[in-house]
Amino acid sequence: MEAARNAREAAPRSPAALSAELSDARLVAACRGGDEQAWGTLVERFSRYVYAIAVQAFRLPQQDAEDVFQEVFARVFERLDTLREDDAVRPWIAQLTRRLCIDRLRAGSREVVADTEELPDGPDEDVLAQLEEAFDVHDALARLSENCRDILDRFFARDESYRAIGDALELPAGTIASRISRCLVKLREEIDPEARPENR
């Protein structure tokens, strides 16, 4: 059983995993060349990041966050040609998202408290810093096997129960906890090669 599991975890990369291996620079170049599949990959790569900045760091309500989200990707799509360095797409998207969130907060505060000069609260800088780390962790997660990626994402990011994960992945619910634990170890080793047994 262990061997079968290891074989599954070392299975060939899915299209999602392969796209995760595409560098930001190559992805941007493909999008600029009109590759619509690459555009879809770019949206998937950064959608969580944009969403988290709007909702967690700026605490925008869902409707405002949706407007910001759509505006960010519309501007990225329109202005990809203006990006000076293709591998700087992530800080560019982050900056664009922050600016649009601030605009949204200012517009909201003008409507609500038109008679004061107070600006709304800015972003939570600690959260913004943690989101950068979280993005790097998700990058590393994308390099793991599909099994590990799926199970960790479902449990921690999608908040699914053992039962729901077991049903979705056709795995006994009783094995989910141990799989999560093993996959977390693999993720740590992916991020920090020093943590690998052969390097200890």
Q: Of all helices (H) and strands (E), which one includes residue 65?
A: helix 62-79
Is residue 45 within 8 Å of residue 94, measured between CB atoms? Answer: no
Which segment (7-15, 43-51, 84-92, 98-106) binds other proteins by CB under 8 A? 43-51
Q: Of all helices (H) and strands (E), which one includes residue 86?
A: none
Which segment (6-14, 86-94, 162-170, 184-192) binds other proteins by CB under 8 A? 184-192
The Cα–Cα gap between 116 and 190 comes to: 51
Under rule CB under 8 A, residue 56 binds other proteins? yes
Among 22, 29, 43, 80, contact with other proteins (rule: CB under 8 A): 43
User: What residue type is 67 in one-letter code?
Assistant: D
Is residue 186 within 8 Å of residue 151, measured between CB atoms? Answer: no
Minimum Å gap between C-beta 144 and other proteins is: 11
Among 158, 167, 173, 175, contact with other proteins (rule: CB under 8 A): 158
Among 14, 47, 95, 175, contact with other proteins (rule: CB under 8 A): 47
Structure tokens at 72: 């960010």
The contacts of residue 58 (CB under 8 Å, 6+ apart) are: 98, 101, 102, 104, 105, 123, 124
Residues in the interface with other proteins (CB under 8 A) total: 43
CA distances from 171 to 12, 121, 151, 198 (A): 20, 45, 10, 30
Our CB check for other proteins shows the closer of 109 and 130 to be 130
Under rule CB under 8 A, residue 135 binds other proteins? yes
Under rule CB under 8 A, residue 184 binds other proteins? yes
Minimum Å gap between C-beta 140 and other proteins is: 8
DSSP secondary structure letters along 162-177: HHHHHHHHT--GGGHH
Under rule CB under 8 A, residue 49 binds other proteins? yes
Applying CB under 8 A, the residues found at the interface with other proteins are: 34, 36, 39-40, 43-44, 47-52, 56, 66, 69-70, 73-74, 77, 130-131, 133-138, 140-141, 152-153, 156-159, 181, 184-185, 187-188, 191-192, 194
